[in-house]
C-alpha cells in the first residue's frame, strides 16, 4: 500500500490542548489548526466572551461537541486560571500540551502593570501549573508547553519597551524551564516561539502610534509588512511537532519556522565572557 502523502503531526494527533488567548488572532488560528490536525480536544481560554463563544459554536458545528471548549478566563487572575485548568481536567481527564499565547500591547501608561501581569507573570503561572499536571516527576505523562515571545525579544531597541521586556522575560524563562536537566525529570518540552509581525488586532495602528510619537520613523509604518495568521499557525504547528525542549524558533515573513537555539547559545556565551 502506498504511504500516506499527508504528513501527520504526531505531537498533535489525539492530544488534549489548552490554548490561552484562543478567541482571536494567532490563538484562534492555533485552535483551528490543532483541530484540523486531529487534536483530540482543544480548550481555549480568553477574556473575549463574544469572540470565544462564536468560535466555539463554529468549531462544534465543524468538529463535534466534545472537540472544542471555550472557557472565559482572565489568565492574570490566578484563581480564574486555576479554575480553568481544573475545568479542562474534569472534562477531558488529561492534558498533553499548553500554548501560552495570550498577550496585550497597550498605549496607555496606566496599563503597564497589566501588560507585565498578562504577558509575563501569567505565562509563568500557567507554565508552572502545566508542569505540575503534565510533569512525569509529578505523576503526569509528560507533554509540551509552547510560550509565545516576539522578534522584539531579540532586539536592543527603544520601541515598545515594556511589551518587549515582557517578551524577553518570556524567552529567558522558557529557555531555563526547558533545560535538559528539567526535561529529563518532567518529560515536558518547554519551547519558545519568537513571532514576527503578524496580521492581527494587536498591531492595530492605535496600539502602536503613541508609543513612538517622538520617533522619526513611526513603528506603525515599520511593521506594515505582516505575515498572514495562517503562515504563523503553520510555523507554530511545525514547532509543536519538531521542537526539542529548551529550543527557540522564529516564525516570520510567511516563511517556514526556523530554529535559533544555537545562535542564542553563542550570543549568551559571548555575554558570559564579559
Ligand X SMILES: NC(=O)c1ccc[n+]([C@@H]2O[C@H](COP(=O)([O-])OP(=O)(O)OC[C@H]3O[C@@H](n4cnc5c(N)ncnc54)[C@H](O)[C@@H]3O)[C@@H](O)[C@H]2O)c1
258 belongs to the catalytic site: no
Count the Cβ atoms, other than its own, within 10 Å of residue 168. 18
Q: Does 125 bind ligand X (CB under 6 A)?
A: no
Task: Give the separation between CA 18 and CA 102, rounded to whole angstroms.
Answer: 12
Closest separation in Å from C-beta 154 to ligand X: 11
In the complex, residue closest to ligand X by CB: 25
Q: Does 25 bind ligand X (CB under 6 A)?
A: yes
- The residue among 190 and 202 lying less far from ligand X, judged by its C-beta, is 202
Task: Give the separation between CA 45 and CA 72, rounded to whole angstroms.
Answer: 6
Q: Does 19 bind ligand X (CB under 6 A)?
A: no
- Which of 85, 92, 163, 183 is an active site residue? 163
Q: Are 249 and 239 in contact (CB under 8 A)?
A: yes
Q: Which of the residues 127 through 166 are near ligand X (CB under 6 A)? A: 148, 150
Closest separation in Å from C-beta 246 to ligand X: 19
- DSSP one-letter string for the chain: -PPPSSPP-TTTTT-EEEEETTTSHHHHHHHHHHHHTT-SEEEEEES-HHHHHHHHHHHHHHH-TTTEEEEE--TTSHHHHHHHHHHHHHHHS---EEEE------S-GGGHHHHIIIIIIHHHHHHHHHHHHH-GGGTS--EEEEEEEEGGGG---SSSHHHHHHHHHHHHHHHHHT-HHHHHHH-EEEEEEEEPPBSSGGG-HHHHGGGGTT-SS-HHHHT---B-HHHHHHHHHHHHHHPPTT-EEEE-TTPPPEE-HHHHHHHHHHHHT-
Q: Does 23 bind ligand X (CB under 6 A)?
A: yes
Closest separation in Å from C-beta 192 to ligand X: 11
Q: Does 30 bind ligand X (CB under 6 A)?
A: no
Closest separation in Å from C-beta 181 to ligand X: 27
Q: Does 99 bind ligand X (CB under 6 A)?
A: no
Give the binding range for ligand X (CB under 6 A) out of 17-25, 180-188, 242-250, 261-269.
Answer: 17-25
Among 16, 19, 35, 45, binds ligand X (CB under 6 A): 45
Q: Does 33 bind ligand X (CB under 6 A)?
A: no
Q: Does 111 bind ligand X (CB under 6 A)?
A: no
Give the binding range for ligand X (CB under 6 A) out of 31-39, 100-108, 138-146, 211-219.
Answer: 100-108
Closest separation in Å from C-beta 167 to ligand X: 6
Pairing of the two strands 248-251 and 188-195: parallel
Q: Which of the residues 180 through 239 are near ligand X (CB under 6 A)? A: 195, 197-198, 200-203
Closest separation in Å from C-beta 113 to ligand X: 12
Q: Does 126 bind ligand X (CB under 6 A)?
A: no
Sequence length of the chain is: 274
Interaction site with ligand X (CB under 6 A): 20-21, 23-27, 45-48, 73-76, 101-104, 118, 148, 150, 195, 197-198, 200-203
Q: Annotated active-site positions, please?
A: 163
Amino acid at each position: 500500500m502506498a504511504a500516506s502523502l499527508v504528513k501527520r503531526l504526531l505531537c498533535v494527533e489525539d492530544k488534549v490542548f489548552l490554548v490561552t488567548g484562543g478567541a482571536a488572532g494567532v490563538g484562534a488560528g492555533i485552535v483551528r489548526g490543532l483541530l484540523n490536525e486531529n487534536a483530540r480536544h482543544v480548550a481555549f481560554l480568553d477574556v473575549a466572551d463574544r469572540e470565544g463563544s462564536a468560535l466555539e459554536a463554529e468549531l462544534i458545528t465543524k468538529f463535534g461537541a466534545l472537540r472544542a471548549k471555550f472557557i472565559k478566563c482572565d489568565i492574570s487572575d490566578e484563581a480564574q486560571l486555576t479554575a480553568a485548568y481544573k475545568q479542562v481536567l474534569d472534562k477531558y481527564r488529561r492534558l498533553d500540551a499548553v500554548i501560552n499565547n495570550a498577550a496585550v500591547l497597550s498605549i496607555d501608561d496606566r496599563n503597564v502593570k497589566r501588560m507585565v501581569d498578562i504577558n509575563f507573570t501569567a505565562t509563568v503561572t500557567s507554565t508552572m501549573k502545566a508542569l505540575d499536571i503534565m510533569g512525569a516527576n509529578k505523576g503526569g505523562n509528560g507533554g509540551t508547553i509552547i510560550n509565545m515571545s516576539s522578534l522584539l525579544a531579540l532586539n536592543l531597541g527603544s520601541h515598545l519597551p515594556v511589551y518587549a521586556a515582557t517578551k524577553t522575560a518570556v524567552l529567558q524563562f522558557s529557555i531555563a524551564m526547558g533545560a535538559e536537566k528539567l526535561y529529563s525529570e518532567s518529560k515536558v518540552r518547554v519551547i519558545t516561539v519568537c513571532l514576527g509581525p503578524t496580521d492581527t488586532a494587536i498591531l492595530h495602528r492605535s496600539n502602536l502610534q503613541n508609543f513612538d510619537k517622538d520617533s522619526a520613523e513611526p513603528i506603525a509604518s515599520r511593521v506594515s509588512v505582516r505575515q498572514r495568521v495562517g503562515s504563523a499557525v503553520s510555523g507554530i504547528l511545525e514547532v509543536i511537532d519538531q521542537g526539542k525542549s529548551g529550543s527557540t524558533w522564529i516564525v516570520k515573513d510567511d516563511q517556514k519556522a526556523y530554529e535559533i537555539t544555537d545562535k542564542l547559545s553563542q550570543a549568551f556565551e559571548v555575554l558570559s565572557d564579559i
